[in-house]
Structures are given as C-alpha cells and as structure tokens.
Structure 1
Amino acid sequence: MIALNVDTGLLDTAHKELQRLLDGRPLVTAERFTTALRTSYTGPAGIEALRPALAIGCYPAWAPALPGAVVAAEDRTRTRSVAERHGRLPRIRHDVPPHLIALNRPPVISAWYATGRLRELAAPDGTVAAIDGELRDKVEAKPVFDQLLRAAEVPAAVRIPCVHVDHLPELGELQRAVGTATVVVQAGVTSGGRGTVFVAGQDDMSRAARLLGPFRVAAFVDGWSSNTTVLSVPDEHGGVRTYVDRPSHKSVGVAALGIGPAKSAGNDWSRPWPAAAAALIVESAQRIAAWAWRRYGMAGLFGLDAILTPDGRLFLNEINWRNQGTTEVSAVNQQLRGLPPFIAAHLTVMLGGRVDWLGNADDFNTDTLTRATQAGGPFYVKARLCHPAPASIAPGYGSGVYRLGPDDRLHRLRVGAHPADADTDRHEVLMANLPGPDIVCHPGAEIATIEGVTSGQPRPFDGPDSASALTRRVHTALHELFHPRQPEDF
C-alpha cells in the first residue's frame, strides 16, 4: 500500500471549512458512479465531510466507499449497457424524491455541472454546487476553442491549425486547409469522445457529416493525448490563484480494451513529461483561468486536454470546465503531495468559502514542474465488456483489491476503494465498480475501472493507443470471470 503522508492539520482545516459551509445540510452526489468522491473520503487521507449522505447514479456502491444512502439505476434495471448508462436519471426520477425528503434538510448537490433537472431535485431550498450548465456550454463548445485560446493570450505555439465551417466541404478542401491527410472534425458540447471524428477517408466523412454544425476542423496531431486538472480559487485582490496538477498520458481508442475511436481508455500520471512541455501546460492553464475569471467570473475545477508529440511539442485541443472522469483518480496526485484533493477546494469555491490549505500557487506550480518530470503516480484504465453476447460476473468477485497471479487469474485479496489500497508494483490493482453476479452486462458496458498507484513500472499503457502487456493480462483475466447469459435469464 502506497503511503500518502497527507498533513492531518490540512485535512482537518479542509474538513472544518466544508462542515461550516454545509451547516448541517446533507451532501448529495449526482454522477454516473455512486461512489464519486471516494478517493477523497476513503483511504489513508479521507475527509469525512466529503462522504455523501445520498448518492444518485448508475451503479451501486460498495464498502468501504458506501455513502449514507444510494439510489442506483442498476438496482432497478439489473442491467448494464451503453443505453442504460446514458439514460440513468430518467429511470430513477421517481425513486430520488423520497430519499431527498428523508434527509430532512435542503441538500447540497455535487455534480459535473448544474442542469434544470438537478435544480428541480434541489428545489425549493437546496443548492447545486457545480458550474452553471449554460456557462459551461459557452466555454466548452468545440467550435469556439481557438477563439478562447486567443482571448486568453495562450502562446500561439500550442494552438493546432484549424478552420471553422458551418457546413462540411469536401475532404480534400479540409486537408489542404489544415495541412494534414487526416483531419479532426469536432462539433457541439460533448464529453467522452462524442462529437469528435477522425477523418481519413470518405467513410469517416460520412460519420462526421452526421454531427450538427458548426464545426471545428483541425489538423491531426500524432502523439499522446493528455489531461491536466486545474483549480482556480478567487483571491483577496479580485483575481484568482491557479493550481495546476501534473499532466497525464492518456491512451485513446484502445480496441483491445473495447474502447472506440476518439474515446479515452484511461489516464496515467506515472509517466514523466518533458520539462518544457509541462511548463507550457502550466502557463496556458494560468492564462485560461485568469481569462475565465475576468470574462465570466468562473472559478473552480477545469480540465485542459492536450497532445504531446514524440519530439516533445505541446498542442492544446480541448477544455472541460467541470468535474471530469479524471477527477476521481487525479485527486491522488494532490494527496501524494501531502495535500487535501482539489475536489474539496472546488466544493468550497462553489459554496463561497475560503480555500487556505493549498499554500502559495506559485510554489505549488513549481512543484508540479518538478513532479511532472519524475516517474510515479496514480492511473486508471477503463474496462468494457468485449464478449460478443450478454454476460454476468461469477459470484464472489466484488469491487476491491486483486492480484494477478502467475496463473494469469485475478485473486481477490481484500476490501478497498482507494487507488493507493493496491500495491501495483507487486501486480495488485483496485477493481472499482464491478457489477454484482445478478447483473446482465451487455457488449460495450462498463464492467470495471482498473486503478492503482505505481512508482513508474509497471505502466498501464505502452503507447498513445495501446495497453501494456500487464493491462492486457488483467483485462483478459477480468473477462474470464464473466459467463454468458441466456435470453431467458433476463
């Protein structure tokens, strides 16, 4: 188990400020995973104020990450599939209000961003502690990304050549305009790779044409995709302090893991970055945070996506101003520094409180530049069901810490909910969000998140679009636990 050595005094400070801001109101999470925030309230550096009184989502929770109560769509449907994942809130809309009433106080709802549906759940006196959804749409809209970078005065060297069109012309015209044989077509305000199509031929162009314009069409840049988590905090002088986490290496479109084109297979913070590229990430994040505060009064968590080329150049390709899929495991980066995680500060900012436990932002970012060039850190890998037909996991394989044995089988060792609960250097991993044996999983369904903390070897990914040998062995062993289900079984 990796030692985090978080300063208990700072944990206590963050805990007390959150308690003060909540003032007895129950914290409620509304995310896909009902164990959202678990790396912040479990493990060796937990902040109990971040353990939700109620979690609303898709998949059930497990000990020791249990919230006070859970409303999970899977408990109703007994099914995991892509469609079920995207339609979770409508399926449980009648189950949630009784749980909110039982809390007996107006809730504080934590989510990626505020929507009308979440405001209805919080009504009449509750609070949605998240960035406004309409404001998020303005900032995250893919066709305006380059205007955002220019407005923030981000260095021109990190901007990808692109054009903006209302209607897609012929592929040859786009190739000439951006200078690459493969072009990247993006549209809308989307996440998880949706709204992005890599176009190398007419078949791809037909898929891109199904998107709703306007479009950003950019040059294809070969290299590692990356995500950097950033936190901006209002300061005492009318500006913001900006804290930039170390950037990740993200593998995309890993077919061996069931991950489709343009979709993330997970993130690895254990692989070093070139110092110059890391410095550009920090500078760009600071400029974007300052611009967003001046222009919209926006503060809190956001993610900056980039591409790192084989020769060490950096190009920015997306911004996500909200909690992200990376938020859960990237929190371990702050804990490895001895600090409470960014999410504690983000909720404090959303509730109008003071964040005075992260220290000087310049010192933090200087430390980021040092850590980014060193090996070691957390990671997560997404696992999708690759079987061709519906299947269920065998009994006795709940979420927790597993070891891959010499027999290439997964052996459950103990309970766990934090990536540091697993000693990945000894081939241990945390298997999070596994289904129960009575759940029918359909092809493409999320069947687990494979997590851990490593000193740098082994690594989860070999390249920008390939899993490591260890990850492939773990993924294969995970699928060996699943057995086909017959149509009459569901």
Structure 2
Amino acid sequence: MSALTMPDAALAEEASRELAAALDGRPLVSVERFGASMRTLYTGPAPLAAARPALAVGCYPGWGEAVARAVLAAEDRTGVRGSAQRHAWADAVDAEAARALAALPHPPVIAAWYTTARLRRWAGPGGTVAAIDGRLRADIEDKASFDALLRAAGVPDRMRIPCIRVEGRLPGLADLQRHVGARRLVVQAGTDSGGRGTHFVDTPADLERAAAMNGPYKVGAFIPGWSSNCTVLSVPCGDGSVAVYVDRPSHKAVGVAEAGIGPGKSAGNDWSRPWPRQAAAELVDAAVRIGVHLWRTRRLAGLFGLDAILTPDGQPLFNEINVRNQGTTEVSGVNQQLRGLPPFLAAHLTVLLGGEPRWLPEADTFNHATVQAASGGTAPSCGRAGGPFYLKLRHRGDGPVRLSGLRGPGVYRPDPAGRLAWVRPGTHPGHADADLGEVLLASLPAEEVVCLPGAELGTAEAVTTGPGPFAAPHRLSAFGTSVLDALTNHLTPATPTPREVTRP
C-alpha cells in the first residue's frame, strides 16, 4: 500500500468474520454503476474475504483483483460508454440480472446505495437488500427541508447557510436576494445526487431555469470556499443509543470546467489537505449531533454523508445531506485503513444485516483522532500525514473516441512526452503514491469500447502528502492537469458500429 502502514490484520479478520456471520451463507451481490464497487474492502491491504461479491451487477466491469466471482456489466454488451449509458444501465441488464440472481444457490443479499422496487424484485422471495430504505432516504435528503433538520439536531446557527424555504412559486430575484441577504443565490429542490437539483442564480434567466424544478425549494446564499464531503457511520448500541463515527472531511472541487465538470458537480475529493483544527472539531461535533438526532427520530443506522463549505476564514457551513453510500465511499475508506481499521463500509453492511461490528473503537476516541488527522496531524497507525484522493476522468472532446495505447486499469505515471507510462498492476487507491507522481487509473474502458462526449473514463486515485489534484475550489493543480492531459493523449477518434450502439 504505497509507503503507508497496513491496517491491523486481526481487526480485518474480525470484520470479515462478522460480515460473514451477518450474511449467514447468503451470497453477497453488489449492484452499482461501477462493477468494482467495494474493492477497497476486498483488495489492497488486509482484504476482507467476506466482502468479495458472488456477483457484481453494474455498468462498467471490474479488473484484475477488483472483480466479483461473477460479473454482469452492461458495457460488455453494448460496447459504448456515454451519459445515456450510465443512466440507463440498470434497464439494459434488467432481465438478465433478475435471471442471474434467481439462479443463485440461496436468496441473495444485495449491497446497493438505497432500496428501490427494482432491487426488491431482483432480490426475490427471501432475498435482502442491504441498503438504506429508499423512502427514508428521500425524506431526509429533501433539500428544502435540510435547514430544518440542522435546527432540530441542534447544529449551531454559525454552521447554517442563510436560506429560506419556498413552498409555491419562486418570488422574483430581487425579493429572494433581499430575504437571503446575498446577491448570488443557490436554489435547490428534490433529492437528486451528483449536483442535480442545484442551480446557481445570478440573473432572472438563471432563476427561471431553477423554477423548472419541482418545489418546494431551498433558496440560500452562495458561500465562497472549498466544498467538502464527510462520511458518517451510525452504529446502534445495545442500550438503545447510537455511536456516531465521523470520518475526516475532504476538500472537494466543483464546477471544474477544464476537467469537463459542470457547475455544481463534483470533480472529485482530496482528503490529504488539512482543515483548520477548530473547523474540524466543530464539524465533527455537529455531525455527531445530526447522527444522534436521525437515530432518535428516524432510527437511521449505517452510512450517510454530509456536505459542507469551508469558508476562506475557516468556518464550516453545512449545505446538504446524503443518506446512502456516495461516490466518495470507495476512496474515503482509505482514511479508515490509514488508521489501522477496516473501511466503514464493512460496518455499514454488518449493521444493515442486523450484526454488530465489534471491531470498531470507542466513537469518542475515534472522533478525537479524526480532528487530529484532519488538521494535519499524523493519525494513529499511519506512517506519515496525508490522505487519499480521487479525480473524475471525463471525455472532454466533441466526438466519439477509443482509449488506446494503455494496459487497462492500473498504476501509471505521466511521462515527459505527455503520455501515460505503466508502473504496475493495481486495484486499490493505496497502490499508487502520488508523491512519486503515480496514480491508479480505475475503471478505464477497454480499447474496443467507444466513448461518447461526456463519458466517464474512470477515476484517478492515490494517496499523497500533497499536493493533490486540485489547486483551488474550482481549479485543477498542475499534477491534476498533467494526468488529464496525458489521458487525453491516449484518445483516438472512433466511429461506433451498429453493435456498439444497440444491445444485442
């Protein structure tokens, strides 16, 4: 795992045993867009054998050690990667997935972000969907209700963004600016992820576009600074209370045009950058308050995420909650491994299946160490400061392309010629050391796959003491730019064939 200390093998074995006991002989099935989902658990340092899925259903296939025992990937059937494909992949494999799960020797346990009617149908009689309840998720994630949730949880006013809730038609721009006390506004509605449901409003035309969303609306002041994501784990205790574990917050770049990432959308997260100690302590305390409140009022257990803005003067302000696994879940698990623990995801699955993750330390002890690690200190069991990061890779051109001249997913380094040089195989973010110029290129398309404009080409992941892929809240670093530019130099024009645009 690069130059970092491995997680505690005994704890990993205990976590694997507890997960296996919770599964109770039932096959684990991963259902997520990335077919290598949960690879941070079952590859890399101190892997958890029980976490390797018996079947992975997704859009993009895994690779190397990051594969389930059986794989059903939509891209293997279409030969095309693009925006439409990443949104419709579950439809493309629906019938085949239902047959594959029904053929398993025992009713499955489906690991996913949140429950849906499709997942319950795939699980079939006796099957289990190990995910946050979809209705509960939609209720808590409602953007227009977020400020009320913060108030009810006792989060201090200084950590809440000035905002109003609008039930009906949105008032005019001047009225909203006056109510909120800001010229630039952020209008949010619904429960969508990935930046959908969020509009930045500077003009009446911007407001008209925002008004096209279904209300109610949250209209808040635009807050400059670094966006951030923080993973939280709630574990029920035997006495009816809950233990809340808070991971270190990230620095998240959003709206990075040079990376092909639109306004309000994340370009990735970097946990190697330190936070101000007081800001980290306030964020952890507030996250615990929210976790306790959601347990007391909704019996929410397992993983959830909190998004915040770290202002230039060092004040964290919460702006969103995500009650589910997130795009950050895979790489943020390295933070726990750097502290000698298995990733939170192992505890999340165990809890959702009715088990008890006894390998976790005391929550207060863990959260105290989180503040230390987030503010630039050396975390326990970690040989140096720093942390993991990931950068989203997009096809930024205007025409279809293929990725050529590479050896598939693995560890690479940008070379002096502006291309990518193979270093070694890899499946885990810790297999790459960005301090040495390395990145793990994960979930790359095969050479025969046609990538359409806007397609996800994968992620660039590594551990680093800095700098990471971002120089500023909306700008890449020189290193991040070199990785994207080198990958672009391996894209060659392509024309889709009929087989590649239609499912056989």
Q: 1:157-196 residue pairs with structure 2 within 5 A?
A: 157-165=158-166, 166-196=168-198
Corresponding letter in the other structure for 1:145 = F
Measure the CA separation in 2 of the matches of 1:445 and 1:176: 40
Corresponding letter in the other structure for 1:160 = I
Measure the CA separation in 1 of the matches of 2:397 and 2:172: 38
Instruction: Output one character per residue of 1:241-284: Cα deviation in whole Å (capped at 9) or x when no partner.
Output: 01100000000000111000000000000000001111111111
Indicate the residue corresponding to 1:38 in structure 2.
39
Structure 1 position 153, deviation (Å)? 1.0
Structure 1 position 427, deviation (Å)? 0.4
Measure the CA separation in 2 of the matches of 1:65 and 1:223: 36
Identity rate, percent: 56
**1:413 correspondence with 2:423:** yes
Structure 1 position 486, deviation (Å)? 2.7
The answer to whether the 8 Å contact 2:7/2:337 transfers is yes
Measure the CA separation in 1 of the matches of 2:19 and 2:5: 22
Q: Which runs of 5+ in 1 are unaligned?
A: none
Corresponding letter in the other structure for 1:366 = H
The answer to whether the 8 Å contact 1:64/1:415 transfers is no
Q: Which one of the candidate residues 383, 391, 404 is aligned to 1:381? A: 391
Indicate the residue corresponding to 1:80 in structure 2.
81
Indicate the residue corresponding to 1:473 in structure 2.
482
2:187 partner SS: strand
Structure 1 position 207, deviation (Å)? 1.7
Q: 1:24-423 residue pairs with structure 2 within 5 A?
A: 24-165=25-166, 166-374=168-376, 375-423=385-433
Measure the CA separation in 2 of the matches of 1:277 and 1:459: 21
Indicate the residue corresponding to 1:5 in structure 2.
6
Corresponding letter in the other structure for 2:207 = M
Corresponding letter in the other structure for 2:33 = R
Structure 1 position 487, deviation (Å)? 5.3
Instruction: Output one character per residue of 1:125-169: Cα deviation in whole Å (capped at 9) or x when no partner.
Output: 110001100000110000100111111111111011111112111
Structure 1 residues 487, 114: closer, same or farther in 2, change over 3 A? closer
Structure 1 position 395, deviation (Å)? 4.9
Instruction: Output one character per residue of 1:2-30: Cα deviation in whole Å (capped at 9) or x when no partner.
Output: 33321111111101111111111110011
The answer to whether the 8 Å contact 2:155/2:289 transfers is yes
Indicate the residue corresponding to 2:379 in structure 1.
none
The answer to whether the 8 Å contact 1:182/1:199 transfers is yes
Measure the CA separation in 2 of the matches of 1:382 and 1:477: 14
Q: Which runs of 5+ in 2 are unaligned?
A: 377-384
1:279 partner SS: helix
The answer to whether the 8 Å contact 1:400/1:432 transfers is yes
2:388 partner SS: strand
Structure 1 position 202, deviation (Å)? 2.4
Corresponding letter in the other structure for 1:225 = S
1:45 partner SS: coil
Indicate the residue corresponding to 2:495 in structure 1.
486
Measure the CA separation in 2 of the matches of 1:123 and 1:391: 39
Measure the CA separation in 2 of the matches of 1:404 and 1:325: 25
User: What root-mean-square deviation, in Å, do the aligned CA atoms of Structure 1 and Structure 2 show?
Assistant: 1.1
- TM-score (normalizing by structure 1): 0.98
Measure the CA separation in 2 of the matches of 1:354 and 1:468: 42
- TM-score (normalizing by structure 2): 0.95
Runs of 4+ off more than 3 Å = 487-490
